[in-house]
Structure 1
Amino acid sequence: MTGPRSIAVIVVAAGRGERATASGDARPKQYRKLAGIAVLSRTMGAFLDRADISWIVPVINAEHAERYEALGLADPRLLPPVHGGANRQASVLAGLTALGPKRPDLVLIQDAARPLVPGEVIDGVIKALAGAEAALPTVPVTDTIKRSIDGKTVTATEDRSTLFAAQTPQGFRFPQILSAHLRAGRMPREFTDDAAIAEWAGLTVALTPGSTTNIKITHPEDFARAERLLAQEAPMETRVGSGFDVHPFDVGNAVWLGGVEIPHTHKLKGHSDADVALHALTDAIYGALGEGDIGKHFPPSDPQWKGAASSIFLIHAAGLVAERGGRIVNLDVTIVCEAPRIGPHVEAMKAAIAGACSISPRRVAIKATTSEELGFTGRREGIVAMATASVELPRED
């Protein structure tokens, strides 16, 4: 194949990702954050950053439409998402069908769960397609591989010099792989990847260099491994910010603290919902970023924030961390008051804060104390909150 070629990409993201579900985080793996950015956003970004890609079609689970929209991905080459099928093979066929009207010359099929695919791996696949019908990035198998019929005893030892682990993106000439998928869809056999369908259809599949960093996120521990790989690519630095806030009591029957409404003899007075704990936390994150305070981003003079939920402010601060390629390491808040009692609500507060920041509740600490009946808090005139935020950001110097 010579001359200019149009290249389309199918990103397969229709799985439920249940094996990678972490304790306290029920999101499918493709929507979980990896160093502050959703896995699917990272995977899509690897192709959106390239000038040689003509179209990208995401294949998503029908139940994840809102999650996908929340990623905020925008690019004129990005086609509307299509819904996947009962298995990976059916999902890829849905993506190929959606690309039919575009008639691309080449198509790359990428697993959403491989968010660290290097540009040189993509380059190698595209280059190979100039002379091959299909291209498959691989890495040599380095472990000794044993075969067992019953899963209890070794039947044989494989020759690992002939074995390779397959990765994505797998590349094809579009008309050929579409035809192969349509025929394979009528077979009782289920294929585990697209190169297997190409082989079955009689296409020659060229091997291209994969990468040991092009890992597939399958289990919870794979997130930690991916975080370490990202840290090696972009040196990070830890920054710490502090926040302090105070609000007096006013006539009412409940207070908002840490994103939780707690019945009380009074409410807290403020322009928003006066959640003193979330205000302190928000300012702590802004402080770590060098981004001023809440008043800078949400002026109390602006009527749209009157009575607003303070979680809006915290979500914004956490979003700035993600935008800068960072992550929140931990949040720590101390609430000072004589009443109401904080202890019974700590777990609910941690969950609310963690949800707003897209982190694990284990990264949130809530502590409460009194002022031993001294000062305005001791006189039950208001509540004080002090907070610290630890944030990892790409090193700028």
Structure 2
Amino acid sequence: MSGSSQSPAGFTAAIIVAAGRGSRMGDAGSAPKQYARLGGQSLLAHSCKAFLDHGDVAVVLPVIHPGDVSLFNEAVSPHPDLLAPVFGGATRQQSVHAGLKALAERETKPDTVLVHDAARPFISASTITAVLQGIEESTGALPGLAVPDTVKRARSDGLIEETLSRDGLYLAQTPQGFLFGDLLAAHDNAAAEGHSGFTDDAAVAEWAGLSTVIVPGNAENFKITTKRDLNKAFDIMQVNKKLDVKHPHVGHGYDVHRLVQGGPIVVCGIEIASKLRADGHSDADVGLHALTDALLGAICDGDIGSHFPPSDPRWKGASSDRFLAHACRLAREKDGDIVHLDVTLICEAPKIGPHRDAMRSRIAGICGLSASHVSVKATTHERIGTIGRGEGIAAMATATVMMPAMSAGLVAGEEETAQG
């Protein structure tokens, strides 16, 4: 599976339509447009990846031209959820029908199906999610953009005949999503009656009497048809790369615990023989607690108490590696790269030096890092105050996480509303 969750619509498959010839792209003899390179990958690879990376899409099925097998193998990397391609037909409708029939022959048939044009490489995860949610409201859904300009009808010689109202007019995009059985039946019936020229699946659904709802589309989700479109796509990708540059976020953490009779004591995930132990609701590991807060601070996601309240009996006596692992997981879910962790332990006892390397290795193991990215230091409190009198132990920590820059505007994927 591509992700751990499934949409409310259940098992979802995506069909990527890539059987066209792309004659408007330009040079005769050149590869079809879906194999044109953009940022080092083919348009088809970009489109497949968007669905393979979406947690609610289980499998992706490319539909290609029979003569493009070698092109496909060069253009798209294997993936456990990427099915072997099937061959399409002479029209888009026939190609989608071939994909639907191939999915129907699988042991596990999808509940819902998304159909997407390979030449729309900037499809966003939020648009895919919106389509899946739209299927819950109707039998089908598609992303659409309200027509922004005045619309004219002209004769074949170019003379304007009338001005049309743009109210209720939308530019249809993909993916278009439907309940699988409904769309398969609609395509079966259309083919049986000799229809082969429907230009999208919503048209097939409309012909079959199925209802389809429009959800918000995205201005970046345009179809690349000409060389000018490809140049526009290249410009968008260059801007997105600049916006996607990661910047260092630094978080700080501090924790302190009383020392009470009854060792051993746990510090930075290592159990140390001692007559004293740190007193706390969990295992009171000051080092891991401070590191957890530092990571949460770097990603701006509260503090250890908001995630693991001491009032919650679930965390009584809990091992603090669970807290630190949770913070690491949150950082990575936000596309953060943890690059450095530094903790300073402040205590009169126990002696930290003999255990320093074990602590670094333990922290590195919890966080999935090399120990070379983890620093553990220790100092006394010069017998000043409660810590200096041996009544407590404290830790200060710093976490450095490389985080993506904030996206802004349509270039970074801002959604257009269906109402314009």
Same fold judged by TM-score > 0.5?
yes
Structure 2 distance, partners of 1:148, 1:186, is 35
2:54 is the counterpart of 1:50: yes
Could you tell me which residue of structure 1 aligns to residue 326 of structure 2? none
Q: CA RMSD in A?
A: 2.2
TM-score by length of 2: 0.54
Aligned residues: 238
Deviation at 1:3, TM superposition (A): 5.1
Structure 2 distance, partners of 1:21, 1:8, is 32
Native 8 Å contact 1:43 1:112 kept in 2: yes
Deviation at 1:234, TM superposition (A): 1.7
Larger Rg over CA atoms: 2
Match of 2:207 among 157, 175, 200: 200
Could you tell me which residue of structure 2 aligns to residue 129 of structure 1? 135
Structure 2 distance, partners of 1:226, 1:95, is 27
- In structure 2, runs of 5+ residues without a counterpart are 1-6, 245-403, 406-420
Distance change >3 Å, CA 230–CA 22, structure 1 → 2: farther
Could you tell me which residue of structure 2 aligns to residue 88 of structure 1? 92
Structure 2 distance, partners of 1:84, 1:151, is 36
Match of 1:210 among 206, 214, 217: 217
Amino acid at match of 2:190: A
2:149 is the counterpart of 1:162: no
Could you tell me which residue of structure 1 aligns to residue 65 of structure 2? 61
Deviation at 1:35, TM superposition (A): 1.7
Matching of residues 371-382 of structure 1 within 5 Å: none
Matching of residues 144-183 of structure 1 within 5 Å: 144-183=150-189
Native 8 Å contact 1:132 1:206 kept in 2: yes
Structure 1 distance, partners of 2:126, 2:204, is 25
2:27 is the counterpart of 1:11: no
Matching of residues 230-245 of structure 1 within 5 Å: 230-235=237-242
Amino acid at match of 2:57: I
Native 8 Å contact 1:21 1:29 kept in 2: no
Deviation at 1:186, TM superposition (A): 2.5
Moved more, 214-223 or 186-195: 186-195
Q: Residues 166-204 of structure 1: CA distance to partner in whole angstroms, max 9, x if unpaired?
A: 000000000000000011112344211100111111111
Could you tell me which residue of structure 2 aligns to residue 74 of structure 1? 78
Distance change >3 Å, CA 4–CA 28, structure 1 → 2: closer
Structure 1 distance, partners of 2:241, 2:46, is 14
Deviation at 1:128, TM superposition (A): 0.9
Structure 1 distance, partners of 2:9, 2:134, is 15
Could you tell me which residue of structure 1 aligns to residue 252 of structure 2? none
Could you tell me which residue of structure 1 aligns to residue 276 of structure 2? none
Percent of paired sites with the same residue: 40
Deviation at 1:131, TM superposition (A): 2.2
Deviation at 1:151, TM superposition (A): 4.1
Structure 2 distance, partners of 1:34, 1:203, is 36
Moved more, 184-193 or 98-107: 184-193
Structure 2 distance, partners of 1:236, 1:54, is 30
2:140 is the counterpart of 1:113: no
Structure 2 distance, partners of 1:51, 1:208, is 19
Structure 1 distance, partners of 2:40, 2:49, is 14
Instruction: Give the 3-state SS of the residue equivalent to 1:160 in structure 2.
Output: coil
Distance change >3 Å, CA 72–CA 41, structure 1 → 2: closer
Q: Residues 143-175 of structure 1: CA distance to partner in whole angstroms, max 9, x if unpaired?
A: 211112434221211111221000000000000
Distance change >3 Å, CA 235–CA 158, structure 1 → 2: same
Distance change >3 Å, CA 47–CA 150, structure 1 → 2: same
2:34 is the counterpart of 1:30: yes
2:44 is the counterpart of 1:40: yes
Where do 4+ consecutive residues of structure 1 move more than 6 Å? none
- In structure 1, runs of 5+ residues without a counterpart are 238-394
Instruction: Give the 3-state SS of the residue equivalent to 1:206 in structure 2.
Output: strand
Instruction: Give the 3-state SS of the residue equivalent to 2:160 in structure 1.
Output: coil
